[in-house]
Amino acid sequence: MISQFFVLSQRGDNIVFRDYRGEVQKGSAEIFFRKVKFWKEDGHEEAPPVFNVDGVNYFHVKIVGLLFVATTRVNVSPCLMLELLQRVARVIKDYLGVLNEDSLRKNFVLVYELLDEVIDFGYVQTTSTEVLKSYVFNEPIVIDAARLQPLGPASIFMQGTKRMPATAVTKSVVANEPGCRKREEIFVDIIEKISMTFSSSGYILTSEIDGTIQMKSYLTGNPEILLALNDDLSIGKDGRSIYEYRSSSGSGAVILDDCNFHESVRLNSFDLDRTLSLIPPDGEFTVMNYRMTQEFKPPFRINTLTEEAGALKVEVIIKINAEFSSNITANTIVVEMPLPKYTTRVGFGLEPGAVGQKTDFKEATKRLEWGLKKIVGGSEHTLRAKLTFSQESRGNIIKESGPVSMTFTIPMYNASRLQVKYLQIAKKSSTYKPYRWVRYVTQANSYVARL
């Protein structure tokens, strides 16, 4: 049972504030914001998504820098509340096309209208964009997506796939584009997040792929869709420990540990031909989530060397090898490494002719940062960093520095080899040829090489 729902900006202003049951005091937004901001005196620890202040439970999720918050006095299911907050944000995004502080402020009346239909007296009524369409009358004021910096999840597809209309994913599901007929199209995105830990000797300690198939449909008339996945896909149902690697990479089937599906997905013929059938609801939704711990080829190898170069000097050499095909390019790569506390200065040396790379030593957090705009498959990049210490290293400098971590995005690449073989739209007319986009992207979730 939800007592209040509100959205706060980064500075703590109310953008919308809806009280459903009048059980929680009015100042709750401020109490909440103060609590989140000053969770621990040192400010290092983040506030957990659920906490209780004076008998009021506060739930929050952070989305594009905004805080979506719900309050209640009742001992409810935290999973339900957090899922709901996420879903409310998604519905709003379906309506506004782009979800950010600006679009939310411009459309707050529409958001109130949505909130009235989504929740009544604290009970969830619906979060389906499709159902809501018939109850909601405000027209979204669409903000110009072209002005936006290419940030956020929608933008990860932008580079590398030039044919994609730039505004496609930021289009409102409900608003008609001025002047022209609504374009019939459907997007299927296979997004994979890699977690990988290398031991100091380069051996893979743990690896996992968390994948999701997202769909966003702008098709009229809700046609049925068939989504065919790899024939050799299997879902591990045997009780065996999933860490007993069953096959080496490169050969054999794609074996998922487990997966789950959206409500609308029918699995009638899944066992037979690995096909999902569904009637996609309007808006953006997750068709399937999957998890895989089967061994796979890491896209990057990281090598780190340290060399003593005098009493107060150490040289660190970080080498990155891109182990994917040369027609694929990774972008927005950042390599980070925490350095010993007593590091005072870092001199950087990049390889000759390096373009689009920048290096930085974050004094406050004692971190080395190396950013690369892009890395072409098959290439190797090296960074030399000369560290100067204020005191003689007491032990091994490796023990005093953190592991090397890496973030990246690789469009049109997926590590699991799970594929959408075809996307079929069941509609009789032969002239009906909607645009179908199937896109892959791989991102680093936690990509760490220990020293």
Alpha-carbon span 417 to 249, nearest angstrom = 10
Q: How far is the CB of 293 from other proteins (least distance, A)?
A: 8
Residues constituting the chain: 451
Name beta bridge partners: 343. Answer: 389
Name beta bridge partners: 72. Answer: 57
**Six-digit token string for 344:** 């005072």
In the numeric block, the tokens 């905004």 are attached to 66
Q: How far is the CB of 300 from other proteins (least distance, A)?
A: 16
Scan residues 367-396 and list those touching other proteins (CB under 8 A).
394-395
Instruction: Provide the CA 169 distance to its chain's centre, in angstroms.
Output: 15
Scan residues 240-279 and list those touching other proteins (CB under 8 A).
241-243, 257-263
Alpha-carbon span 449 to 404, nearest angstrom = 5
Q: Which stretch binds other proteins (CB under 8 A): 53-61, 150-158, 177-185, 425-433?
A: 53-61
Q: How far is the CB of 428 from other proteins (least distance, A)?
A: 28
Scan residues 162-191 and list those touching other proteins (CB under 8 A).
none
Helices within 11-151 (DSSP H only): 28-37, 78-96, 101-106, 108-118, 129-133
**Six-digit token string for 421:** 């073989």
Alpha-carbon span 216 to 189, nearest angstrom = 9
Q: How far is the CB of 47 from other proteins (least distance, A)?
A: 8
Alpha-carbon span 428 to 52, nearest angstrom = 55
Nearest to other proteins of 14, 167 (CB atom): 14
Q: Rule CB under 8 A: say whether 362 interacts with other proteins.
A: no
Q: Rule CB under 8 A: say whether 73 interacts with other proteins.
A: yes
Q: Rule CB under 8 A: say whether 450 interacts with other proteins.
A: yes
Q: Which stretch binds other proteins (CB under 8 A): 166-174, 288-296, 307-315, 353-361?
A: 288-296
Alpha-carbon span 59 to 89, nearest angstrom = 14
Number of amino acids touching other proteins (CB under 8 A): 91
Nearest to other proteins of 186, 209 (CB atom): 209
Q: How far is the CB of 313 from other proteins (least distance, A)?
A: 20
Residues 205, 199 contacting (CB under 8 angstroms):
yes
Residues 96, 103 contacting (CB under 8 angstroms):
yes
Q: Rule CB under 8 A: say whether 315 interacts with other proteins.
A: no
Q: Rule CB under 8 A: say whether 446 interacts with other proteins.
A: yes
> Which residue pairs, CB below 8 angstroms and at least 24 apart, start in 362-366?
365/338, 366/338, 366/339, 366/340, 366/341
For residue 372, the 8-state DSSP code is E
Q: Quick one: which of 61, 190, 302, 372 contacts other proteins (CB under 8 A)?
A: 61
Torsions phi, psi for 93 (to 5 deg): -65, -40
Scan residues 188-207 and list those touching other proteins (CB under 8 A).
195, 197, 205-206
Vertex 329 angle, CA 327 and 330, to 5°:
155
Scan residues 84-103 and list those touching other proteins (CB under 8 A).
84-86
Q: How far is the CB of 22 from other proteins (least distance, A)?
A: 7
Torsions phi, psi for 113 (to 5 deg): -60, -45
Q: Rule CB under 8 A: say whether 49 interacts with other proteins.
A: yes
Binding letters toward other proteins, positions 324-343, x by CB under 8 A: --------------x-----
Scan residues 397-416 and list those touching other proteins (CB under 8 A).
399, 402-403, 405
Q: Rule CB under 8 A: say whether 82 interacts with other proteins.
A: yes
22: left (phi over 0), alpha (psi -120 to 50) or beta: left
Nearest to other proteins of 168, 346 (CB atom): 346
Q: Quick one: which of 57, 71, 277, 409 contacts other proteins (CB under 8 A)?
A: 57
Q: Quick one: which of 4, 5, 8, 16 contacts other proteins (CB under 8 A)?
A: 16
Q: Rule CB under 8 A: say whether 79 interacts with other proteins.
A: yes
Scan residues 109-128 and list those touching other proteins (CB under 8 A).
109, 112-113, 116, 120-121, 123-128
